[in-house]
Structure 1
Amino acid sequence: MNSNNCSVSIVIPVYNEQKILRRQIEHIIKELRSRSKFKYEIILVANGCTDNTFRICKDLNRYKAVRTIFLDKADYGYALRAGMSSAIGKMIVNFDIDFYDINFLFQALALEPFGYDIIVASKNIKLSSDNRKLIRRVISGLYKYVLYYGFGLQVSDTHGIKAWRNDKKLRKLIDKTVNNKEIFDTELIIRSQYAGRKLLELPTNVKEIRKSVSSIFKRALRGSLQIFKLWLSIKIFEKR
């Protein structure tokens, strides 16, 4: 696909998603075909999979708009980085395989002329609906305050769906972002705000369609340690 006529690159990291992968991707394609006339690509980033996800991704590549990046190690942030770095669309939208919002994608496109560089689908603002388990909602709320008081972050959510203006400034910020795993996109948003990028939040509705493939407690612990290291890096060492 020619980068000059691709409006949106949809990046979706996938890890051991054989049960829902085909259904979810084909539903996204069906929705886009029925509602859009713009050119798009779907980039699946299969990372460290040990089930049939790789094989299903290869099969989904039969769709003209779908391509897959295969990575050996399981790492969400590294997968998101790889997908965003290879995207050719004027806008990048990152979805999770168990959480996507086609309406958000169209809203982000409609807002493109207003000059926003990053649009966040936030679970933590008015008019949003978060139907996940209580423990996940509590962790998200704590995370929001940690980022606000620790970094002065002006958006209330950094995990989940986001739309990014795909320009040279974003590429430089991706290269400057040092973390992968749980907080790649969090660090990228923080650095984007510090670089003067224009951010906007939109409400979203979230509900779980299956159990998480990894432990929420382990991810929360890893993420907390990474956030502390990032705070030291940005607030202490980079200011020297």
Structure 2
Amino acid sequence: MNMECENITAAQKTESSNKVTLRRITLSIVVPAYNEEKNIRQAIEVIIAGLSKCNVTDYEVIVVDDGSSDSTAVILQEMALQNTHLRAFSHVVNRGKGAALITGFNQSKMELILFTDADQQIDMTALSVFLEQIEYYDVLVGCREKRMDTLSRRIISKGYNLLIRSMFGIQLKDAHCPFKLFKRSFIDSIQLVSQGFFIDTELICLAMISGCRIGELRVESSRRQSGVSSVTLRHVIGICSELLHFLRRYKKIVTVTYD
């Protein structure tokens, strides 16, 4: 399995945008949301605008409200009534990022599936390059070169990436980047279990075990537009717990060498 990390340059964006129009793209975008009432409306508008720039017309935006205590679900239902491309789902209680993504994946209908967060930290201009490059991969993962998170968040993330690299042989620089594109054939072939933030690692590990071709592309990121991150110490502990459960399920983890 080969893994590559490429720069997304202005020239690539223009070239990729032209290439995308040459073939039919059907795309599901899955967005987990928890207490994002200040972000969600603009986030959806930015996503749809990004799709328009890529000339993608056959798409659906699936937003899964994960038991929010604010008005996120109400806003989503209102927007869904006004846009047939938007499909909104809600969990009665907060179940976790993994559970929200699994719900979204199960509801998706298109041949390509992208997931991104509702906090608008990832620049949607990366989409055109991802859609062009997915022809050569089964899974494409974003790589944030300049993270705009807090220092503590960056330290935790770097430590976690080192941990999963040593345990699973994952050579990705940013395995938890909330911008990943999959072919449906891969998503349909796996059974996801993680209910929390470990789902990013679970997806990559299952792709490795399945012999998928994985690519990594640099994306631009910015600070969260509004609100605060929902990641707490409890979630970090939860990731570690799910990691141990994953190890028990897959006793033989294949360590992959990269070209």
TM over 0.5: yes
Partner amino acid for 2:46?
H
Task: Tell me which of the two structures has the higher relative contact order, counting C-alpha pairs closer than 8 angstroms and 6 or more residues apart.
Answer: 2
**Paired residue for 1:183?**
198
**Whole-Å separation in 2 of the counterparts to 1:83 and 1:158:** 20
| Counterpart contact for 2:198–2:242, Cα < 8 Å | yes
**Whole-Å separation in 1 of the counterparts to 2:69 and 2:39:** 15
| Counterpart contact for 2:112–2:184, Cα < 8 Å | yes
What runs of 5+ residues in structure 1 fail to find an aligned partner?
Answer: none
| 1:198 and 2:224 are equivalent in the alignment | no
Cα deviation per residue 1:98-150 (whole Å; 9 max; x = unaligned)?
13332222111111322x01000023xxxx11121111111111111111111
Percent of aligned positions with the same letter in both sequences? 26
| 1:144 and 2:165 are equivalent in the alignment | no
**TM score, norm. by length of structure 2:** 0.80
Structure 1 runs of 4+ aligned residues shifted over 4 Å read none
Q: Would you say how many aligned residue pairs link Structure 1 and Structure 2?
A: 225
| 1:104 and 2:126 are equivalent in the alignment | yes
| 1:119 and 2:136 are equivalent in the alignment | no
| Counterpart contact for 1:6–1:41, Cα < 8 Å | no
| 1:87 and 2:101 are equivalent in the alignment | no
**Paired residue for 1:49?**
68
What runs of 5+ residues in structure 2 fail to find an aligned partner?
Answer: 1-23, 254-259
Q: What SS does the aligned partner of 1:206 have?
A: coil
Cα deviation per residue 1:39-64 (whole Å; 9 max; x = unaligned)?
21100101111111111000110112
The match for 1:229 among 205, 221, 245 is 245
**Whole-Å separation in 2 of the counterparts to 1:229 and 1:65:** 37
**Paired residue for 1:161?**
179
The match for 1:214 among 230, 235, 243 is 230
Q: What SS does the aligned partner of 2:250 have?
A: helix
The match for 2:83 among 54, 60, 63 is 63
**Whole-Å separation in 1 of the counterparts to 2:210 and 2:231:** 33
**Whole-Å separation in 1 of the counterparts to 2:210 and 2:52:** 36
**Whole-Å separation in 2 of the counterparts to 1:28 and 1:141:** 28
Partner amino acid for 1:166?
R
**Paired residue for 2:19?**
none
